[in-house]
Amino acid sequence: MAARMTAIRMSIIDQIAWIRRRMRSSSPKTRCVKPINGLSLTQIGIDNIAMSQAPHFPRMITIADVARAAGVSSMTVSKVLRGTGRIAAETRARVTQIAEELGYVPNRLAGSLSSQTSSLIGIVIPSIGDQVYAGVLAGINEVLNGQGYTAFIGESFFDPEIELRIVHMMLTMKPAALILTGGLARDERTIRLLRRSGIRAVHLWDGDHPNLDATVGLSHRNAGQLAAQVFIAAGLTRCVYIGSQLDRDLCAACRLEGYSGALSEAGATLLCMTDPDLPRTAETGYVLTRRLLEQGAPPQAIHYLNDAMAIGGLRFMNEASITVPQTISVNGFNGTALAHSLTTRLTTIEVPLMEVGRRAATAALTIPPADAERSVDLIEITLTMGNTTACRP
């Protein structure tokens, strides 16, 4: 009886130490290791390694370990960690402290599988290294963090097969919603997966082709038209487009359509200088601008796929002593260069990136009526005039 009372009076630290000793003492002396890529340990030549040399992988603390150390049931621990049930304050505090000391991490995936709910929001973007999507993600996270949700991000690199694989994996985690960037040729298998899952999915960025349960984006065709109208208004008729990877980025291709159409209606000419393989970076803008200007007489105006490429093009023109906008007028798209401009202020189509993200996250968390139609939220874009575009005298 005295021994039993002593055990009951054990401090929390002693209980934790006891649990850890039991874990070590109960570890098997020999270990059955599963084959790796079809090869057993014997086949890959490490079957004779002494057990003391083998790597040690401690097992994870379970809810049963926390319950044992706290002297309560696993159900009580579960209720404490989920913040539910009528549990005494002293018990709740003790269980919480022991869970923290033991380093217990709840299996949120298992919880979502049993309850069909999750605090995860899956997000698929082309590249986290693109400044555009960095701004959009900042807006998404601002909303999600305020609502107690966590973003889980995947990169598709404009590849429908990669997007399919990421979406499939995310759906196994029972997310509360998905946000998928448009502008790529989405695989039909991805669409079928989303329909059958019942998970709310938001189509991001591509406002010209509404899709999924809700769409939040901009009209890229209108953006291209706006870029052309700047040049037309200045009386510039010999125009160029510089871009890359248009076969992958369908939104960029849509902007080019708008740009080309507006120029054609105004009687202006258009030359396209693109490369399907080069990245959409300042260096590519530099290379393609040099390639263009080495071919002959300079054009009057150049519209770039994005601000980064425009900055690269301006760098080459500066090195080649080509005056902007006196000789060539330049504009870009997305507005990411505005925060870094000093003496050169790029004329650009500005997109409120964080607002796009905020509204996409809000759409993802919105539960519409069962008979609601697909929602489309078009973001307003604006032309920001810099000093790289000539004005009509």
- Amino acid sitting at position 44: I
pLDDT digits 0-9 by tens, 167-214: 999 998 889 999 999 999 999 999 999 998 889 999 999 999 999 999
Task: Look at 243 and 24; give whichever has higher pLDDT.
Answer: 243
User: According to the model, what pLDDT value does residue 181 have?
Assistant: 97
What is the pLDDT, as a whole number, of residue 22? 57
CA distance 102 to 131: 40
Instruction: Classify each residue of 53-84 as buried b or exposed e, where b means 16 or more C-beta atoms within 10 Å of its C-beta.
Output: eeeeeeeebebebbbbbbebeeebbbbbbeee
Q: What is the pLDDT of residues 122-153, one digit of tens each?
A: 999 999 989 899 999 999 999 999 999 999 99
Query: How far is the CA of 150 from the CAs of 4, 53, 145, 147, in angstroms?
Result: 45, 40, 7, 9
Pick the closest to residue 242 from 324, 301, 319 (CA basis). 301
Among 2-6, 50-54, 81-85, 289-293, where is mean pLDDT lowest?
Answer: 50-54
Q: What is the mean pLDDT of the chain?
A: 86
Report the predicted TM-score, pTM, of the whole model to 2 decimal places: 0.75
The Cα 156–Cα 267 span in angstroms is 39
> What confidence score (pLDDT) does residue 372 get?
83
pLDDT in tens, 316-335: 999 999 999 999 999 999 99
pLDDT band for 373, please (50, 70, 90 cuts). Answer: confident
| pLDDT at residue 35 is higher than 60 | no
Q: Specify whether the backbone of 83 is left (phi greater than 0), alpha (psi in -120 to 50) or beta.
A: left
Three-class SS state of 166? helix
In the predicted structure, residue 230 carries a pLDDT above the cut 90: yes
**Higher model confidence: residue 238 or residue 10?**
238
CA 343 to chain centre: 33
